Structure formats: C-alpha cells, structure tokens
Structure 1
C-alpha cells in the first residue's frame, strides 16, 4: 500500500483544526470576557453560575452565543473551512475545467464535421480538430479524476476531524452529560453521521453545477435548431 501523506494523518488534521479554532475563538472570548466574568483559555468548553461564581462545566460553548448572537457552531464550521477550504476549491476548479472541456468537445466535433463536408478546406484543419478532440478527452478524464480525488480527500479529512472532536469530547464529558447522551448516540455519530458528511462533500457541487449544465445544453440545442430553421427559410 502507498504510505499516507503527512497532511492526511489524523495528527496533522487535528493540529490544523486546533490552530484555526483557537484563532476564531479569540474574538468572541474577548467579547465575553469584556461583558462578564473572564473566561480562561483552557480546553474547557463552557461556564455557568453556581453560588455567585463562574464554574466550568461540560455544557458545550458550541451551543452558547456571543454578543452578536452568533452561535459558536459557526466558529467550528469556519475552522473546518479554513482547514480544508483551499483544497476543496482546488477540486472545484478542476470540476469547472472539466465541464468546460466537456462542452467544448461537441463544438470541436461540429467543426470537424463541417471540415469533412467542405472539400476545399485545408487538410491541416482536419488534423488540428482531430488532435483537439483527443486532447480534450484526455484532459476531461484527467480533471474528473483529480476532482474526485480532491473531494474524497476533503471528505476523509472532515470525517477524521469530526471523529477526533467527538472522541476528545467523550473523554471530557461530565457525568451529568453522560446521562443525557448515551453511548449508542456517540457511536452512531462517529460511524454513520460522519460518513454522511463525507458523501455530502463529494456530491455538494452537483447542487449548483447541474442547473448550469442544463442551461448550457438547452442553449446549444437552441443554437442548432436555430441554424436548421434558418436553412429551411433560405430554401
């Protein structure tokens, strides 16, 4: 088997996520400390009042809100995006180029057919159109595989990050929280829900690329029908 890359290891992924989470948490932490009792920068996840003093609990701060009304869950999403967003955008760029080449193939094919019908055209144009068809097909296949590779890599990193967060949370969870969250729920979160997150990353771009593909197909079909209609009018 091929060795695992360092950036795909769980230690690397969790280290990056921890760094981005710390950066995103500084601003709301300072806002909370300025409006009330100061919060320590420890790994404890929240605080509550007990007997007039601030007591750290395991009521996660991800459910609390800062002064702007923004949930800390958004900070987790921002940290995840900063961790894998650039790699995901590279995959999206490969998808856009793949779609561009996919729609360019029929256009080049129509030029090749027009060359075959016109006997007075230079021969080098035919070789150029045939070479373009071969080149576009190769690039289309290469970009599609690169896109799928980037998507599965991002999905794997997100799955690893969420599993690591759940594992760390389960080690620090209080006895009161254990009574509300069963072991089966934790196992289901790690095994099933993280896999759904990975599948969502793979097919997310279909939500916006599919309408564009349909619109372009109708546009090119309209262009073909328009040419046929013009020919019938001329006849």
Structure 2
C-alpha cells in the first residue's frame, strides 16, 4: 500500500498530455506559471514515471545482458545488450534527426537564396516570392518541431540507459563474493556510477551526428557544385 507521503507527490503532467502538447512542450506551462508566482520547492517535484523507474529498467537490461552472454560465444558486448534494449528508439531518433538536419536545414539556404533573388534581380514573380517566403517559414517551423522533441527524446533515452546501467552495477555489487569485495573498493563503484555512466548523456546525444555530419557535408558540397556551374 502506498504511504500518504507517496500519494501527495504530484503526477507528471506528461503522462496525461496529448500528442500536440508533448510535441510543443505545452504541458510544462503550468510549472512556469507556478514559478512566476512563488519559489518552487521539493513539494513541486513530480512522481517518477514508470519508464524511469530503476527496477524495471535494470531488470530489462540485466535480462538482455544474460541473453548476450548466452549468444555471444564467450565474448559478450555491453553495447549489443544496450542496443537490444534501446536500439529501436535510438534508431528512430536518428532517422528524425536525419530528416531534420539533411533535409530541412540543408534546403533552407537555397530557399532563402531564391527569395532574396526576387528583391535583387526581380526575376521571379510576386506569387513565386510568396511561395519561397512560405517555404522558408514552413521549413524553419518544421525544423523546430523535429529538432527539439528529438533532442528531448534522446536526453530521455540516455537517462533511461544511465539508470539501467546504474541498477546493474548496484545489483552486481550486491552479488560480489568476499574475495571480489576485497579487490573492488566502494569508491570504484561510486566512480563507475557518478562518472563513467553519466557520460552516456553526451555520447548518446551526439552519436548520430557522427554519421549525419558526413552525409550532410557531401550533400551540401554537391548542391554548391550545382550552384556554381549554374544548373
């Protein structure tokens, strides 16, 4: 049975937010309004969502690690275990970033160029200029809609992975034998959780740019070449 203290903790508004509210972060507005009226305190913290709880996250990753040990032929990989657990979400966010970075952000300078050419050379009709202006506004708006929820989703994914690994480290420390406990200090375990695992935040967040960046460079170089030769 939940204690009275647990019952008083507020439910995270994201759980009841609709798709548009999540996409535009509208569900966070009440927090800002409350912060304008008074100083926020610990009572304003929300209850931990189920997707962030350490027990199910740690259990799922531990089961994935056990399957990795059985199927790896004696050479298990923690990366493969993490990808088995979080790979689909990681790939989905990578695809969204690809569309936003390579598609929308790459085409914006060329739309702007066409729009400026109307005022510089007057080669385009007024209707075409309106289309370029609308396309520039639309591409900018779509880029914001794509990018910010995606980055928030990657932060959320990195947090879940960090919680999963921290839970696994804690479980492993409880199962160590007396000999192993003598070899591993408590400071080493704390260092793994506080320093090494926390690096997942930046690694997961920027890993996609390692392959999106070269693709975007090749595409931009090709479009610049077409522009220079006048096609």
Q: TM-score, normalised by structure 2?
A: 0.71
Deviation string 1:160-208 (CA, Å, 9 cap, x unpaired) is 1111111001111111112221221111111100111222111112222
CA–CA distance in 2 between the matches of 1:187 and 1:12?
Answer: 21
The correspondence for 1:20, drawn from 64, 71, 76, is 64
Q: In 1, are the aligned partners of 2:111 and 2:132 still within 8 Å (CA)?
A: yes
CA–CA distance in 2 between the matches of 1:4 and 1:110?
Answer: 48
User: 1:172 maps to which residue?
Assistant: 175
Which stretches in structure 1 are left out of the alignment for 5+ residues?
Answer: 29-65, 231-235
SS of the aligned residue for 2:168 comes to: helix
Q: In 2, are the aligned partners of 1:155 and 1:201 still within 8 Å (CA)?
A: yes
CA–CA distance in 1 between the matches of 2:167 and 2:89?
Answer: 20
User: 1:77 maps to which residue?
Assistant: 79
User: 1:146 maps to which residue?
Assistant: 149
CA–CA distance in 2 between the matches of 1:136 and 1:120?
Answer: 23
User: 1:129 maps to which residue?
Assistant: 132
Q: In 2, are the aligned partners of 1:88 and 1:150 still within 8 Å (CA)?
A: no
Q: How many residues align?
A: 186
Which stretches in structure 2 are left out of the alignment for 5+ residues?
Answer: 1-44
Higher CA-based Rg = 1
2:97 corresponds to 1:95: yes
Q: TM-score, normalised by structure 1?
A: 0.70
Q: In 2, are the aligned partners of 1:151 and 1:201 still within 8 Å (CA)?
A: yes
2:214 corresponds to 1:216: no
Deviation string 1:28-66 (CA, Å, 9 cap, x unpaired) is 6xxxxxxxxxxxxxxxxxxxxxxxxxxxxxxxxxxxxx3
CA–CA distance in 1 between the matches of 2:171 and 2:123?
Answer: 73
Q: In 2, are the aligned partners of 1:108 and 1:129 still within 8 Å (CA)?
A: yes
Compare relative contact order (CA 8 Å, sep 6+) and give the higher one, 1 or 2. 2
CA–CA distance in 2 between the matches of 1:134 and 1:15?
Answer: 46
CA–CA distance in 1 between the matches of 2:220 and 2:111?
Answer: 15
Greater strand share, structure number? 1
